[in-house]
């Protein structure tokens, strides 16, 4: 159900990475309004791309016949959805009460220093994005951050650069 004219869309002047719409074709072809709701569909899109690309949301609107404004309303209402691409490593820094009391603001400053980006942005090497999140559910280990599926607990500001630089080294990046 994809428009042929948009299968490899995205203007070259865009700063966003090129989006391959063929990746979402199977998901959209399988869409059935009787069994699939919009949230489930958007979760599927985000699983494919890591975020909700604008071009794909246009296709979702065409296929589902749901207005783009409503789709964006859902996408921006739920914190699980992201409208910008993320790095290979998504860092979720807990800002819940226990982590806040135990110095998460200092951890965030250390992250900003070592990554040289603000929250939600992607590092120029494409490796990292950090976001602030609510309680990660392991308050006794505060302050805590997760990098993809791995939890880093009882963090100190010194730990932050060490952890990030270990990942950079694994990825063959200069430190």
Contact positions toward ligand FES, by CB under 6 A?
94, 96-99, 135-139, 142, 144
CA 71 vs. chain centroid, Å, equals 18
Give the residue with the Cβ less far from ligand FES, 114 or 142.
Answer: 142
Give min distance, CB of 11 to ligand FES, in A.
41
Q: What is the CA radius of gyration of the chain?
A: 19
Nearer to ligand FES among residue 97 and residue 165 (C-beta): 97
Give the position of tokens 């399988």: 30
**Cβ proximity to ligand FES, 71 vs 99, nearer residue:** 99
What residues contact residue 68 under an 8 Å CB cut-off, 6+ apart? 57, 58, 61
Closest residue (Cβ) to ligand FES? 96
Q: By C-beta, is 64 or 104 nearer to ligand FES?
A: 104
- Please report how close the Cβ of residue 46 comes to ligand FES at its closest, in angstroms: 23
CA 82 from centroid of its chain's CA atoms:
5
Instruction: Find the shortest distance in angstroms from Cβ 135 to ligand FES.
Output: 3
Tokens representing 110? 């250390």
Q: How far is the CB of 140 from ligand FES (least distance, A)?
A: 8
Which of 70, 89, 175, 76 is CA-nearest to residue 131?
Answer: 89
Q: Are 143 and 99 in contact (CB under 8 A)?
A: yes
């Amino acid at each position: 159900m994809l428009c042929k004219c948009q299968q490899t869309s995205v203007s070259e002047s865009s700063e966003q990475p090129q989006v391959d719409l063929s990746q979402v074709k199977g998901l959209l072809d399988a869409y059935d309004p009787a069994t699939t709701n919009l949230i489930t569909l958007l979760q599927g899109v985000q699983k494919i791309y890591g975020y909700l690309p604008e071009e794909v949301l246009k296709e979702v609107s065409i296929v589902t016949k749901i207005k783009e404004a409503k789709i964006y309303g859902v996408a921006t209402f739920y914190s699980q959805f992201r409208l910008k691409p993320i790095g290979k490593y998504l860092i979720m820094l807990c800002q819940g009460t226990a982590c806040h009391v135990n110095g998460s603001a200092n951890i965030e400053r250390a992250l900003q220093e070592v990554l040289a980006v603000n929250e939600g942005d992607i590092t120029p090497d494409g490796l990292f994005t950090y976001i602030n999140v609510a309680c990660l559910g392991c308050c006794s280990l505060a302050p805590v951050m997760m990098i993809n599926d791995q939890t880093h607990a009882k963090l100190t500001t010194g730990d932050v650069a060490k952890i990030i630089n270990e990942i950079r080294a694994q990825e063959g990046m200069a430190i």
